[in-house]
Chains A and B, each alone.
Chain A
Amino acid sequence: MKLKTTMHVNKITDEIWEIPASEKSGMLVPARIYATEEILQSMDQGVFDQVTNVACLPGIVRHALCMPDGHWGYGFPIGGVAAFDVRNGVISPGGVGYDVNCGMRLIRTDLTLADVQPRLERLMTELFRLVPAGVGAGGFVRLDRKAFDSVMRNGARWCIERGYGWHSDLSRIEEGGCIEAADPSKVTDHAVSRGINQLGTLGSGNHYLEVQVVSDERVFDRAAAEALGITGHEQIVVMVHCGSRGFGHQVASDYLRIFEKAMRRYGIAVKDQQLACAPFHSPEGQDYFAAMNCAANTAFANRQVITHQIREAFASVFGSSAEELGMDLVYDVAHNIAKVERYPEGELLVHRKGSTRAFGPGHPELPEVFRRTGQPVICGGSMETGSYLLVGTDRAVRDTFGSTMHGSGRTMSRAQAKKAIRGEQLQQQMKRQGILVKAVSMSGLAEEAGFAYKNISEVVETVDRAGITKKVAELRPIGNIKG
């Protein structure tokens, strides 16, 4: 087997590989990568270097983990999971990601492909009009500082109180759409200025809004699907992928700078400057946690306002209210976040960066509505190949700190993708495949071509076979909005 590393990588099972703690000076625990042999061979060297760097961080427990969609990131690999003992462990912005609470949201409908196909052009135009995307795009919600503080504290709850959504939405958002430990006084004015006009905007890069269809033959777990509102029968659903935008990035940047100085004071050395961290219970660690939670709540609010706009667009195009169209939320998950959770080792601060929480059936932290199915997990693929709905398992809670994959993961750089295809050419090609794309930037569109990503089905099969999430349904794109 040819890997892009000289480190010893031992096979534990067909889907789990381990780099022993003896492979790198300073490793406190082994590193584990979830992958098939084929996926492991395709992983870039950065994954091996970075997951073993993470294994050196103070207070890390059990293993540093990387999911099968893993690829190089800043500090931690994307797809990285690491849990730290809250008593002596650290918190690291590099383990959360710059786009705090970047996440996925899935909205169901009672509509079918036959209902939507004749009006797809009009629907995508309306969605493109109502959901701002791309560079510097501002949202329609006007906020002053006091109101933005309330968004930072209350997340999606703030939106519901102002009519941007339904009360039933809240139980279908991770943490009920509001993380309690948020303190706006720990956020800089700079970060506030970047975020205050961005509520309800998609951004650019790999963020998107997608209209998708669920076919009968691509429903893998009928009981779980029905419990989550997925009927199959060419059902139309809508997926949103975005996060806390420039606001979250500024929070991360502000605290990276603080942590670089704090590390010297606490005598912490890291293998990579972007792993800058501080003891979780230090003043700096607690301040970042409070500010990060402000960004996380803002991201929940962002996706909630976008949901409101999606419902408005559908209501306008189909001449029925969103309630009549059955546009309930399936779920909203964070895939860039750090949270305190309880495991056999005690209270742990679990960092998930490009990784989704995946609690199994009966988990006490799940709301009643998901106690039987397990927590929904939404994984976005490339805009050409489709996405998946899965559910969490007890095995994930036992083996991976209740974590799984988040998407398909890039294999080709943005520059290479742009050399391979032009945005206009890709748009036409996708139209022939039955996918209508509206994009602010044609060069940005080319960067997101399907061939620049791993095959999501292979990635999903890996976590399914490893038992850390179970497939429920595949979601095939028919319309896409990109920044």
Chain B
Amino acid sequence: MTLAHSFRYLDDIAVADMAFEAEGDSIEEVCRAATQALLESMANTTAVGSTWHRVIELQDEELPQLLFDWLSEIIYWKDAAGVVFHDASLTIMNKDGLWTLRGRLVGAPVDRQAQELRNDVKGITKHLYELCERDGKWTARVVLDV
């Protein structure tokens, strides 16, 4: 069975930080994979509850910037609300050349006794940042500042 999306962490891209490559069969799938990679880098998502949620809508003419802003928004809410995440769903639409991402973040307040916490990601960087489509397959490469 082929998964519609997947991700892997990259070993040697950023010595002091973290990086991942996400793949998907569509723009939505690659964004879902990148989102999952980011959530997993901060905490084991299966051990995080679902008591907190936030609906987010973002727009941009460029898809790479839209994904960058979405991932940055997740980092923002991690700090602003003091939460880690269980899941994040999203849809992406295009109307008249403007891309719209609607997402829903689900998580719970940080609890170091109950959750398996990982890295406190401080931001998404533009270093080697890429979102592209080749032969119907979408790929995103993202370096996280930890």
Cα–Cα, bound, A198→B81 (Å): 11
Residues A398-455 near B (CB distance < 8 A): 410-416, 419, 440-441, 443-444, 447
Q: A194 near B79 (CB under 8 angstroms)?
A: yes
Q: B11 near A413 (CB under 8 angstroms)?
A: yes
Q: A136 near B83 (CB under 8 angstroms)?
A: yes
Residues of B within 8 A of A246 (CB): 75, 78-79, 122-123
Is A73 an interface residue, CB under 8 A from the partner?
A: yes
Is A362 an interface residue, CB under 8 A from the partner?
A: no
Residue of B nearest to A192 (CB): B80
Residues of B within 8 A of A440 (CB): 112, 117
The interface bits of chain A over 249-274 (1 if a CB of B lies within 8 angstroms of the residue's CB, else 0) are 11011001000000000000000011
Residues A188-224 near B (CB distance < 8 A): 190, 193-195, 197-198, 203-206
Asked if A253 meets B117 with Cβ closer than 8 Å, knowing A78-B16, A137-B110, A274-B127, the reply is no
Residues of A within 8 A of B64 (CB): none
Cross-chain contact of B11 among A411, A415, A447, A483 (Cβ < 8 A): A415
Is B9 an interface residue, CB under 8 A from the partner?
A: yes
Q: B16 near A204 (CB under 8 angstroms)?
A: no
Cα–Cα, bound, A273→B65 (Å): 14
Q: A205 near B15 (CB under 8 angstroms)?
A: no
Q: A249 near B145 (CB under 8 angstroms)?
A: yes
Measured CB to CB, the closest approach of chain B to A255, in angstroms, equals: 13
Measured CB to CB, the closest approach of chain B to A410, in angstroms, equals: 5
Measured CB to CB, the closest approach of chain B to A436, in angstroms, equals: 18
Residues A268-283 near B (CB distance < 8 A): 273-274
Cα–Cα, bound, A73→B125 (Å): 11
Count B-side interface residues using an 8 Å CB cutoff.
36
Measured CB to CB, the closest approach of chain B to A465, in angstroms, equals: 26
Is A386 an interface residue, CB under 8 A from the partner?
A: no
Q: A136 near B79 (CB under 8 angstroms)?
A: yes
Is A155 an interface residue, CB under 8 A from the partner?
A: no
Residues of B within 8 A of A73 (CB): 16
Asked if A205 meets B120 with Cβ closer than 8 Å, knowing A72-B15, A98-B145, A416-B12, the reply is yes
Q: A250 near B125 (CB under 8 angstroms)?
A: no
Residue of B nearest to A244 (CB): B122
Residues of B within 8 A of A193 (CB): 76, 79-80
Is B61 an interface residue, CB under 8 A from the partner?
A: no
Cα–Cα, bound, A193→B76 (Å): 8
Residues of A within 8 A of B80 (CB): 193-194
Is B17 an interface residue, CB under 8 A from the partner?
A: yes
Is B18 an interface residue, CB under 8 A from the partner?
A: yes
Measured CB to CB, the closest approach of chain A to B114, in angstroms, equals: 12
The interface bits of chain A over 153-195 (1 if a CB of B lies within 8 angstroms of the residue's CB, else 0) are 0000000000000000000000000000000000000100111
Q: A74 near B145 (CB under 8 angstroms)?
A: yes
Taking Cβ atoms with an 8 Å cutoff, the residues of B that contact A are: 9-18, 42-43, 72, 75-76, 78-80, 82-84, 109-110, 112, 116-120, 122-123, 125-127, 145-146
What 16 additional pairs, Cβ within 8 angstroms, besides A205-B146, A441-B119?
A: A74-B145, A135-B110, A136-B83, A136-B109, A136-B120, A193-B76, A206-B16, A245-B79, A249-B123, A253-B72, A274-B127, A413-B14, A414-B18, A414-B146, A443-B118, A447-B119
Taking Cβ atoms with an 8 Å cutoff, the residues of A that contact B are: 44, 71-74, 78, 98-99, 134-138, 190, 193-195, 197-198, 203-206, 245-246, 249-250, 252-253, 256, 273-274, 410-416, 419, 440-441, 443-444, 447, 483
Question: 23 A-B residue contacts at CB 8 Å?
Answer: A72-B15, A134-B117, A134-B120, A135-B43, A135-B118, A136-B120, A137-B82, A194-B76, A197-B79, A203-B120, A205-B122, A246-B78, A249-B122, A249-B145, A410-B15, A410-B16, A414-B18, A416-B11, A419-B11, A440-B112, A440-B117, A441-B118, A443-B118
The 7 closest A-B pairs by CB, nearest first: A204-B120, A136-B110, A246-B79, A194-B79, A193-B80, A249-B122, A415-B11
